Amino acid sequence: MGRPPCCDKIGIKKGPWTPEEDIILVSYIQEHGPGNWRSVPTNTGLLRCSKSCRLRWTNYLRPGIKRGNFTPHEEGMIIHLQALLGNKWAAIASYLPQRTDNDIKNYWNTHLKKKLKKLQSPGSENTAQMGSENSPTSATSYHLVSKNSFTDRPQIATSSSSLYASSAENISRLLEGWMRASSSSSSSKGFTTNSHTNNTSHGGDLEEEDEDLTRPEVAATDNNGVIPKEEYLDSILTFGSLMNGMESESCSGNNNKQKVNEGNDSDNPPPLSFLEKWLLDESAAQVEEEEGEDNQGAVMELPTIFS
DNA sequence: AAGCGTATCAACCGCCGGAAT
DNA sequence: TATTCCGGCGGTTGATACGCT
């Protein structure tokens, strides 16, 4: 009974994805749109199982993904949503369209859990309550009083500055070349641009600025044939656009875009609820907050509307 | 500089629910 | 209705980067 694991097949490759595989996958999805993952390995020749393809796409290659460290507002949202929903990372991610559930899950496990534990520890004035690991907390009122408590976050450099050590230097350079050559013309089309416009519709806060925040440490491509991760991703996506979109620009600008967007359907939040209204309000507040400069020491107090 | 411990995150594993047959 | 298939989700792991001694 039950079906065998899809990855049990002989010849299925595991482990980190190579740039070549990324290009193949992106090209294929740009042409056919996400979905029907079962057929992806077959049609692309990728020696990966369908799950692996889907995961790679949704967690890494999908356009509109914001990388780098989380903003205090995002942290607040995650904490609050976790309290409300429990470890429903996909649900939580739907409120943070630029973040993947995997990212949120990782961030929770590596940062927030500890942070809350700290705050929860005896003697601490800031008592942020946590429920059991897998269930929503009963107390959903958090007062993460001082924004300073977030300042010990690892700096951007930790994740986004890590270089994507390409296993195929040639591909990296090829991609770099593609990107440079097309940056002027493709800057207004293709995945990245698409995602930008796509995600600003529901509370996607300050993507442009956030990108700026995450990019400075990513200096220009170094001289060792290693490209920064973000630039690498841009390259992959641009490459995919060029591969599939060049010959039929209008097609890629419409049909494919739509298909790709379908892949983000899960990102489309349900109709506005009380929670969502609050989140959007918070988002707006966040914009003002960020505009006001980094306002160190400012109070970030989460509302207690759910208590 | 080397060794060691810790943090981070991409990717895998296994289960579940819904769709298809 | 029962069975199989597929996509999705959450938990976990392993490789690597990072920081400290």
Domain boundaries, chain A: 6-61
Rounded CA-CA distance A234/A228 in Å is 10
DSSP A215: S
DSSP A146: B
User: For residue A104, what pLDDT is reported?
Assistant: 92
Length of chain A measured in residues: 307
Nucleic strand B within 7 A of Cβ A54: no
The candidate with the shortest Cα–Cα distance to A64, out of A166, A168, A198, A156, is A198
User: For residue A283, what pLDDT is reported?
Assistant: 52
Rounded CA-CA distance A24/A28 in Å is 6
**Nucleotide nearest A156, from its CA to each C1':** B8
User: How far in angstroms lies nucleotide C11's C1' from the CA of residue A118?
Assistant: 23
Q: In this predicted model, what pLDDT tens digit does every residue of A166-198 receive, in sequence order?
A: 333 333 443 444 444 444 433 333 333 333 333
At residue A92's C-alpha, the angle toward residues A210 and A111, to 5°, is 65
Phi/psi of residue A156, nearest 5 degrees: -50, -35
- Who among residues 108-167 of A has its Cβ near strand B, under 7 Å? 109-111, 154, 158-159
Q: Which residues have CB under 8 Å from A67's CB, separation 6+?
A: A103, A159, A160, A214, A229, A230
Which CATH code of 1.10.645.10, 1.10.10.60, 3.40.50.300, 3.20.20.10 fits the domain covering A6-61? Answer: 1.10.10.60
> Alpha helix locations (H) across chain A?
19-32, 39-44, 50-56, 72-85, 89-93, 101-107, 113-120, 157-160, 169-186, 190-199, 207-214, 229-245, 249-251, 257-263, 274-291
For residue A73, the tally of other CB atoms under 10 A from its CB is 22
User: For residue A230, what pLDDT is reported?
Assistant: 67
Rounded CA-CA distance A280/A60 in Å is 25
User: How far in angstroms lies nucleotide C20's C1' from the CA of residue A121?
Assistant: 26
Report yes or no on whether pTM surpasses 0.85. no
Residues of chain A below pLDDT 50: 1-8, 124-225, 246-272, 287-307
Rounded CA-CA distance A183/A185 in Å is 6
Query: A222, A232 in Cβ contact below 8 A?
Result: no
User: How far in angstroms lies nucleotide B7's C1' from the CA of residue A84?
Assistant: 27
Residue nearest to nucleotide C18 (CA to C1'): A158
